[in-house]
Amino acid sequence: MSSKVLFEQEISSYTKKTEAAKTFINIISRLWYEQAIELVLFRNQLIDRQNSHILNLHHEAAVFAENNISIFDSLAVADTLQDLRLPPSRIDVGTLAMEMKNEGIAPTDLHDFLIRKLCKAHQTKEITPRDVILYGFGRIGRLLARELIAKAGSGRQLRLRAIVTRDQVNETTLRKRAALLQHDSIHGDFEGTVEIDITNKALVINGLTVYILSAQAPEEIDYTAYQISNALVIDNTGAFRNAEELSRHLKSKGTANVLLTAPGKAVPNIVYGINQDEIDVSKTAIYSAASCTTNAIAPVLHIIENKLGIIKGHIETIHAYTNDQNLVDNMHKKFRRGRAAALNMVITETGAGSAVAKAIPSLAGKLTSNAIRVPVPNGSLAILHLETRQTTDVETLNKLIKTAALKGDLVEQIKYAVNEELVSSDIVGTSSCSIVDAPATIVSADGHSIVLYVWYDNEYGYAQQVMRLSRHIAGVRRFVYY
């Protein structure tokens, strides 16, 4: 075969894949906006993605799942899903395509196969949408705003209604807030529209009005004056950390629950995927989503503790610098954090080692931890050095993690990475809170000492965990098939 003929065949093949991706994207949008059914591919988001991104995800999936899953397989699944008239759901077409191929399902049997796999969807309770208030509008607050708006769909889950800041609301501050939401130096531009409404003191985001309110104290605002009721307040300020302080939010008319996006004292610290089912949301009003580091290490530690048993360990976090550090050398209440963040590696403390025991009680007293802030703006790494009761080896240990990333209760939390060239910038924008670097795994000769490298996007990955916990607290968790 001549090189010219081969080249033309390759062009033809890629064109067919691109056309399939276009059709796939149209179906994804139709299912989301008309039926509130969100399709993902091995937990990777597909809404508002381009053809090349869709095809690249399929290439990665073929390696990850060790199964030749193509865009044509996903398209066949998605196309058939349109006819099932499912209730609001989140469905992994990658998992379904993998199971379809593993079971040898013929195209003519795909409809019956999907009915069998998704039979529990119609058993889910009808969802009552909940209002959301973002109290604070910093790094996490703006990412949550983007996600809440992007996932608004037909408005059947969480509805962002208001954002509370401490500064006065006027044309200047509205424009600044709009610009910060629209443009982000790390995560890129918001793929939507952000306009200001001076008359109503609001931002209009993708056509949805979100009031910008000013308050010096949580109890100052009557949210019902803005037709907001039974709302979940997500506190991103970090100013209020205990039950007494956070309960001030509940004194405001129109609020029902409070979620702190930081470790909390005397309130349930929840790592979604680990211990959310241990709380009674009908009796508890205030929660903490713990820290980004705790959310990163808890899923992996949970697997190791359950499968191998942990005797003791040390967690070292290589963490991106944060806004609480100084841009240039200056006074700081913490030791070392006063030195210029973008110029120094800074040793500092982290409570993640002890905090993880709030989610996994059997680890109490077993772990020490420390942190090094490094000159990158986002993307962090936790190094887990653990001594285990049972022996293992690299292949067995990696298989444990990979299995958990493919199927089970932690598929949203854990991503199994096989890229031997992976670096911190590669994981920015990853929705999983734990990205296990499989090629870096180390096991000692005696099989009892293991080292795992767990990457995490300390902004976006954590914001996704906050979103998952928010849906759980608000009682708007849809049917999910992973």
Tell me the catalytic residues: 292
β-bridge mates for residue 40, sequence order: 45, 92
Burial of residue 156 (CB within 10 Å: 0-12, 13-18, 19+) is middle
Instruction: Output phi, psi for 375, to 5 deg.
Output: -75, 60
Contacts of 363 (CB under 8 A, 6+ apart): 301, 305, 310, 356, 357
**String of b and e for 235-267 (b: at least 16 CB within 10 Å)?**
bbbeebbebebbbebeebebbbbbbbbbbbeeb
Q: Do the beta carbons of residue 373 and residue 319 sit within 8 Å?
A: yes
Q: Which residue has the tokens 């029902």?
A: 256
Residue 479: in which H helix or E strand, if any? Answer: strand 479-481
Q: Are 190 and 124 in contact (CB under 8 A)?
A: no
Taking the mean position of all CA atoms in its chain, how far away is CA 32?
19
Is residue 477 within a helix (H) or strand (E), and if so which, with residue range? none
Find residue 374's DSSP bridge partners: 320
β-partners of residue 79 are none
Please, what's the b/e burial string for 99-116 (b: 16 or more CB within 10 A of its CB; e: otherwise)?
Answer: bbeeeebeeeebeebbee
Q: What residues contact 177, with CB distance under 8 A and at least 6 apart?
A: 137, 163, 165, 203, 212
- Ranges of beta strands (E only) in 173-293 are 194-197, 202-205, 208-214, 231-235, 255-260, 286-288
Neighbours of 8 (CB within 10 A): 11
Contacts of 6 (CB under 8 A, 6+ apart): none
